Amino acid sequence: MNNFEFKNPTKIIFGKDQISRLAVEIPTNSKVLVLYGGGSIKSNGIYDQVMTALESFEVLEFGGIPANPEYAVLMKALEVIKSHNIDFLLAVGGGSVIDGTKFLSAAALFNGDDPWEILETGKPILKGLPFATVLTLPATGSEMNSGAVITRMEIKEKRIMGGPGLYPEFSILDPQVIQSIPQRQIANGIADAFTHVMEQYMTYPTGAILQDHLAESILQTLVEVAPVILKDPTDYNAASNFMWSCTMALNGLIGQGVPSDWAIHMMGHELTALYGIDHARTLAIIAPSHYRYNVESKKEKLAQYAERVWGINEGTTVEKAHAGIDKMEAFFHSLGIKTRLSEYTAEYSGTAGEVFNRFTERGWKGLGEHKSLTPSDAEKIVEMAY
């Protein structure tokens, strides 16, 4: 096991009817900006619960943060923060609203000329304006990590940022919020969380027994609850397990002391930037090809996963590895998620070359656990996913 230091300061408040806890968790006398997305919180009752809990605070609101949070929209929210001397941000939403809020937390204290630098340089953010979240969509784990992904449509870029200063102060996770989530987004959440685990686990054997078992148990839980929650989002037990699995998949814990990959996400972000495909679906497009392309270097771990998660005990190591990849692809299909780029856009033919160019221009030489995946490997993987 590699050396590691681990500190996750986010307090989790989990369970039924916990949104009311905002009243006591936000520091008294805070001037709060409530940030949200396209309005789902107004029709499902979450907005009312939040506003009732915030009655004793001075509150402003900023709605309209779109999926794949858009830089231009966030810059308008930044003006509100600055002109009203906001000192506490409250994200009420899924990964997009939470990530947008993380950017704002950093941008509010940024000293340079242009906040785009935060995303261009990717320098770790050591301090941000305090913020908390009310999670409305389990998927990204953003409610308990310090990363964010921001889109700037005018230049078709989707960039990552983060740092130890960007953990939420606290996050409220009420599994009842799942009841109003459309099937498509529930499926996305399951696929995203599944891939988060895979990116931290599907590398090579390192003898980190606990990390392996933790990762495998999250995958197994997602596989077990997926059909239940898709059939009945009001099933509180399934909703709780789904929600906590998504948080555990990317709160840092399972990735400590082990190598990680993240190449699927890096390629997937390009597909969102180019075609606006939902984040989770880009992962379902890339993951099968990525693992098939890299089967030689990942075969031991792929076979272990095939055995432990899917019960595949027959065949050679490579055969088991391939069977495990097939199972993963079938799992995405069972969620109603297509796994070929050509099923999402008719203009797919130049994509692999475009991804190669973008990675090369950015000087990204090596992706993956060995930092050995070149832009030309990425090109081949994307092409395999057509």
Provide the binding-site residues for ligand NZQ, judged by CB under 6 A: 37-41, 44, 67-68, 93-97, 99, 136-137, 139-142, 145, 147-149, 177, 180-181, 185, 188, 192, 250, 265, 279
Site string for Zn ion, 188-217 (x = CB under 5 A): ----x-------------------------
Q: Which is nearer to Zn ion, 86 or 202 (CB)?
A: 202
Q: Which is nearer to ligand NZQ, 199 or 306 (CB)?
A: 199
Distance CA 109, CA 15 (A): 33
Site string for Zn ion, 155-194 (x = CB under 5 A): -------------------------------------x--
As measured in angstroms, the least distance from the Cβ of 317 to ligand NZQ is: 29
Distance CA 268, CA 345 (A): 14
Residue 309 is inside which H or E element, if any?
Answer: helix 295-310
3-class secondary structure, 216? helix
The option from ligand NZQ, Zn ion, none interacting with 258 (CB < 5 to 8 A, set by class) reads none
Q: What is the DSSP string of 136-154?
A: -S-SS-GGGSSEEEEEEGG
Distance CA 63, CA 48 (A): 14
Q: Which is nearer to ligand NZQ, 286 or 303 (CB)?
A: 286
As measured in angstroms, the least distance from the Cβ of 310 to ligand NZQ is: 23
Q: Which is nearer to Zn ion, 192 or 377 (CB)?
A: 192
The answer to whether 202 and 211 have CB atoms below 8 angstroms apart is no
As measured in angstroms, the least distance from the Cβ of 136 to ligand NZQ is: 4
As measured in angstroms, the least distance from the Cβ of 152 to ligand NZQ is: 12
As measured in angstroms, the least distance from the Cβ of 97 to ligand NZQ is: 6
As measured in angstroms, the least distance from the Cβ of 85 to ligand NZQ is: 27
The answer to whether 288 and 385 have CB atoms below 8 angstroms apart is yes
Distance CA 14, CA 11 (A): 10
Instruction: Select the residue whose beta carbon is closest to Zn ion and give its number.
Output: 192
Could you tell me the strand order of the sheet in which 11-14 lies? 11-14, 170-173, 131-135, 88-93, 31-36, 58-62
The answer to whether 372 and 262 have CB atoms below 8 angstroms apart is no
The option from Zn ion, ligand NZQ, none interacting with 96 (CB < 5 to 8 A, set by class) reads ligand NZQ
Neighbours of 112 (CB within 10 A): 10
The option from Zn ion, ligand NZQ, none interacting with 378 (CB < 5 to 8 A, set by class) reads none
Distances (CA, A) of 43 to 35, 65, 66: 16, 16, 17
The option from Zn ion, ligand NZQ, none interacting with 142 (CB < 5 to 8 A, set by class) reads ligand NZQ
